[in-house]
Chain A
Amino acid sequence: MTKKILIVEDDIHISKIIKMNLNIVNYATTEVYDGLAALEAVKREKFDLILLDVMIPLLDGFALMEKIQPYRIPVIFLTAKNSVYDKVNGLKLGADDYMVKPFEAIELLARIETVLRRYGKEERVMEFHNIQVDLDKREATIQGKPVELTPKEYDLLVALMKNKNIALSREQFIDKVWGGDYYGETRTVDMHIKSLRKKLQLQDHIKTIYKIGYRLED
């Protein structure tokens, strides 16, 4: 089922770029540009998560937080302000995470995913064409038949599927699959990609993107 995310951001451009990034990985989005409109939207529709800018007109982010607390919707703050006070205040009011502008799209996606998982809203089964990945069993199947994958290959496949249609660099793959303290060669990524393509017949879908890295494409 598609997750619905409310974007509360008064800068139209930023709102739009967030929306585009979320849509491409199959989140549904609603954009509002001020605090009162956000409150209206929350009352009207059910959202799985709210991305909330702190400095918005009519009703600021902190005041809005207090009003929407009864709805128990996970909230991630977005702001250009990097002060400790805001961080503490935001988290105290029940924000689940905090992002300082400017931020990278994949970082935002990762945080959204973490928060959704914490609320038990994450999909435990992911699908891509005839491939199914069960996150609980750590198992990948093609048309119901299990595929032998090494743990790293499995993690790499999950990273590709979670960031579907977005190119990730080799460094980003290493960070997500091998962990931040891995200092191996980026060629390791190429080797694993190669074997994933072979094992899952994804030669046409895992694209090599010039000067960047790899992308899983529909």
Chain B
Amino acid sequence: MKFWQKIYLFSFLVFVLIFNAASIMVIERSHNKMLGQEINSALSQNMSIHSSVDAIVPILRIYDSIDYEKTVLTNIANEFVNKNDDQRIYLEIMNEKDRTIFSNADFKLPVHREELDKLSDDEIHYILRDVDQRTILFTSNITDINHKRYVFTYMKDVTPLYQDRVDQYRFFVKVDIAACFLYMLIMFFVSRGLTKPIDRLNRTAQVIAQGGFSERVRLKSKDEIGVLARNFNDMASVVEDKINDLERHNQEKQRFINNFTHELKTPLTSIIGYANFLRTTKYNEELFLDGVNVIYSEGKRLESLSSKLMDLILLQEDHFQMEEYDLRAIIAEIEPALKMMTKKKQVAIVTDLEEGRLQLEKDLIKILIFNLVDNALKASVEQQSITLRTYWRDGRYILEVIDQGIGIAEEHRDKIFEPFYMADKARTRNSNGAGLGLSICQSVASMHQAVIEVSSKEDQGTTFRVIFAQVIPKGGMNQ
């Protein structure tokens, strides 16, 4: 059963119960009150008859004749009955021997009348009795006349009172049905209105469950459901952000894999192609040397790709021991190796270094510098120079690698840090590049909380600037 139906049904049941009980109580109470009044008035009538009979008792005593007594009593009774002609009033007078002296009852009186059983002087007994579909109130008392006991029974037809009650109930049933319908109608809208926000939440949850992560609940109420909706929306946006992050991450990975596959397949195509050519065609010295050279150089390219890749994988696992080193000393240490590297192309290395003690991972910093110098070398032509410069500015230590080479075109500048991106494919390939150098540098830099900036002018040279994080004095960098 739905929640709104529960609200609807239970509130309706409670309404019906309370409304009916209250109405029945009101009707019954007013009926009982009317009945009580009727009884009281009957009793007082009885009393008045009693007292008027008492008034004439002394006269009757003088004559002391039963016949006379009878005549007088009948006269009194007739007078009384005539006076109350319009109302349904009946009077019965019985003597000691239970013989009726007077009666104007138009119905058959019951044989056994229990109200008379223990009737004594100065007492009035009353009883309600159903006679012929009528309800009659009997009130009886005993009057002593000349030592003879006469029973006076005053009766009143109270059927209209009961009829009234039935009418009341009839009317109540009509009101009840109308009230119930009205209540059902109002409660239907109220309960639907109350549960509508829940339905909406529910629908939104379903949409989200089916992958529509940008779906939100639009509820502005301030009650508990409104709060729930707001919390629900907050939750949904956290989930959406997480999923977007995951997707972006996934796409990055996919792009990496695609690029990697491409970089792997290209040298393999050459190697397999040449090897197959050499094994399936007739030996030709020139072609043979050509082919073997290509196989060798493409093999070297694969080797360099795999070692770069190892560097990159190593960088993904971030448990490195940072220690305090002087970057100037590190550069001085690798300078001979750098010079060896650039000597073949007759490119000079110039250094201009300030002392800089930083928290560093020595081997990674060496990889960073090697890669930057390697890039600079690839961009340079003979007789040019590469400058390594370090200095402090605004509390930050900065390492610059400056070349005078061909520069990087504007359109490539924001992509060069992407893995496998090559501004000039042919040139990079010729020097065994894989397009991974700068993304390795980027990883190393971010591990040292450093950023890499690049400024370049085509045909005038490029400057790579590694800006280390502001040094917090003494012990602040220990992680």
Report yes or no: A80 in contact with B270, Cβ–Cβ below 8 A: no
Contact indicator per residue, chain A 78-119, by CB within 8 Å of chain B (1) or not (0): 001110000000000000000001111100000000000000
Give the interface size class of chain B: 20 to 34
**CA distance in complex: A17, B298 (Å):** 13
List, in ascending order, chain B residues with CB within 8 A of A104's CB.
Answer: 272, 276
B455 is an interface residue with CB less than 8 A from chain A:
no
Which residues of A112-167 have CB atoms within 8 Å of chain B's CB atoms? 165-167
Asked if B262 and A102 make an inter-chain contact with CB atoms under 8 angstroms apart, the answer reads no
Q: Is B279 an interface residue (CB 8 A)?
A: yes
Contact code string B266-297 (vs A, CB < 8 Å = 1, else 0): 11111011101101111000010011001001
A190 lies within 8 A of chain B by Cβ: no
**CB-defined contacts of A17 to chain B, threshold 8 Å:** 269-270, 273-274, 277, 291, 294
Nearest CB in chain B to that of A55: its residue: B262
Q: B281 contacts which chain A residues (CB < 8 A)?
A: 24, 165-167, 215
A167 nearest CB neighbor, chain B only: B280
Note all chain B residues with C-beta closer than 8 A to A27. Answer: none
Chain A residues, CB < 8 A from B287 = 20
Q: Per-residue CB proximity of B426-457 to A under 8 Å, as 1/0?
A: 10010000000000000000000000000000
Q: B300 in the interface, Cβ–Cβ < 8 Å?
A: no
Identify which of A7-15, A39-47, A180-188 touches chain B: A7-15
- List residues 240-263 of chain B with CB under 8 A from any CB of chain A: 258, 261-262
Query: Interface residues of A, CB < 8 Å — how many?
Result: 30
Contact across chains for A12 and B274 when beta carbons are under 8 A apart: no
| Contacts A102-B265, A102-B273; A10 near B425 (Cβ below 8 A) | yes
Given known A10-B426, A81-B262, contact A102–B268 (CB-CB < 8 A):
yes
CB distance from B448 to the nearest CB of A (A): 34
Q: Mark A168-194, 1 if CB is under 8 A from B, else 0.
A: 100000000000000000000000000
Q: Are B273 and A14 in contact (CB under 8 A)?
A: yes
A217 within 8 A of B: yes
Is B273 a contact partner of A80 (Cβ separation < 8 A)?
Answer: no
Q: Does A209 contact B (CB under 8 A)?
A: yes
A217 and B273 CA atoms in complex are apart in Å by 20
B-side contacts of A24, CB under 8 Å: 281
User: Which A residues touch B277, using CB under 8 A?
Assistant: 17, 20-21, 105
Write the chain A residue with the least CB distance to B301.
A13
Interface residue from B265, B276, B298, B425 paired with A13 (Cβ < 8 Å): B298
Known: A80-B261, A102-B265, A102-B269. A217 touches B298 (CB 8 A): no
**Which residues from 117 to 168 on chain B have a C-beta closer than 8 Å to any C-beta of chain A?**
none
Contact A11 B266 (CB under 8 A): yes
Interface contact A212-B280, CB-CB below 8 Å = yes
Query: Is A199 an interface residue, CB under 8 A from the partner?
Result: no
A212 touches B265 (CB 8 A): no
A20 to B269 CA separation, bound complex (whole angstroms): 14
| Cα(A171)–Cα(B409), bound, Å | 51
Q: How far is the CA of A2 from the CA of B289 in the complex (A)?
A: 27
Alpha-carbon separation in the docked complex, A105 to B273 (Å) = 7
Asked whether A16 lies within 8 Å of B261 as measured between CB atoms, the reply is: no
CA distance A79 to B56 in the complex (A): 141
Instruction: Say yes or no: A14 contacts B258, CB within 8 Å.
Output: no
0/1 string, B70-96, CB within 8 A of A gives 1: 000000000000000000000000000
Least CB distance from A47 to B in Å reads: 22
In the bound complex, residues from chain A placing their C-beta under 8 Å from that of B282 are 165, 215, 217
Asked if B279 contacts A101 (CB within 8 A), the reply is no
Contacts of B268 in A (CB 8 A): 101-102
* Chain A residues within 8 Å of B291, by CB: 17
The closest CB in chain B to the CB of A53 belongs to B266
> A167 with B262: in contact, given A10-B426, A16-B294, A102-B273 (CB under 8 Å)?
no
Tell me if B274 and A101 are in contact (CB < 8 A): no
* Bound CA–CA A97/B287 (angstroms): 29
Nearest A-chain residue to B424, judged by Cβ: A57
Residues of A within 8 A of B269 (CB): 11, 14, 17, 80, 101-103
CA–CA, A18 and B294, complex, Å: 13
- Quick one: which of B261, B274, B280 contacts A166, CB cutoff 8 A? B280
Q: Which A residue sits closest to B272, measured CB to CB?
A: A102
Contact B426–A12 (Cβ < 8 Å): yes
CB distance from A128 to the nearest CB of B (A): 15
Q: For A101, what are the chain B residues with a Cβ–Cβ distance below 8 Å? A: 265-266, 268-269
- Residues from chain B with a CB closer than 8 A to the CB of A33 are 426
User: Shortest CB–CB separation between residue A102 and chain B, in angstroms?
Assistant: 4
CB distance from A114 to the nearest CB of B (A): 20
Q: Tell me, rounded to whole Å, the shortest Cβ–Cβ distance linking B284 to chain A.
A: 10
Residues in B neighbouring A105, C-beta threshold 8 A: 273, 276-277, 280
Give, as a whole number of angstroms, the nearest-CB distance from B287 to chain A.
7
Chain B residues in 8 Å Cβ range of A217: 282
Contacts of B280 in A (CB 8 A): 105, 166-168, 209, 212, 215
**In whole angstroms, how far apart are the Cα atoms of A167 and B278 in the complex?**
10
Interfacial chain A residues near B261, Cβ < 8 Å? 80, 82
Please provide the chain A residues from 31 to 67 with a CB less than 8 Å away from any CB of chain B in the complex. 33, 55, 57
Give every chain A residue within 8 A of B262 (Cβ-Cβ): 55, 80-81
B255 smallest CB distance to A (angstroms) = 12
Are B265 and A80 in contact (CB-based, < 8 A)? yes
Given A57-B425, A167-B279, A11 contacting B265 (CB threshold 8 A): no
A210 nearest CB across to chain B (Å): 10
Q: Give 6 pairs: A residue, B residue, CB < 8 Å, sorted on A.
A: A12-B426, A13-B270, A13-B294, A103-B269, A105-B276, A209-B280
User: When A and B form their complex, which 10 residue pairs have the shortest distance between CB atoms, in order from nearest?
Assistant: A102-B269, A17-B273, A167-B280, A13-B270, A80-B265, A101-B269, A80-B262, A13-B294, A166-B280, A102-B272
A-binding residues in B (CB < 8 A): 258, 261-262, 265-270, 272-274, 276-277, 279-282, 287, 290-291, 294, 297-298, 425-426, 429
- What would 5 more interface pairs be, CB under 8 Å, given A21-B273, A209-B280? A12-B429, A17-B273, A17-B291, A105-B273, A167-B280
